[in-house]
Structure 1
């Protein structure tokens, strides 16, 4: 039946996705070890306006979603899901 043919394909896709996830986790861990988070700077009571922020050497792009404040907007969206086969029973 079509279900029996689809199940191995779905299991293979799940395995590939799981491997990609583990590779990404390992890469993120390596990045965190190589570039540890900087210590928070002491707050200055300056009235001359905001000081320019400097990025650490090797920093890439804007902060990730885990460091965004509640009013900031993220500039990405998840990919639309792939259509799945339906089975009439």
Structure 2
């Protein structure tokens, strides 16, 4: 089974301050890319013979809950916010 070293997903764009309720931002999303190493750190174990996408699909909520708050506010690089092991709590 071939495994990739990252997964991409989109999350709703959350505006802060005076832009927070502005309807022009409704439905906007930001693209994130999370590394396999970050996913495994969030789960607390290495998983062999499972694709990164399958691992993320199964445990996405558990992964989201371990991402540092500051990481959600990182600036995108080439349109994507990159998340790695340093962005995981603990």
User: What TM-score does the superposition give when structure 2 sets the normalisation length?
Assistant: 0.18
Which structure carries more strand by proportion? 2
Structure with the greater alpha carbon radius of gyration? 1
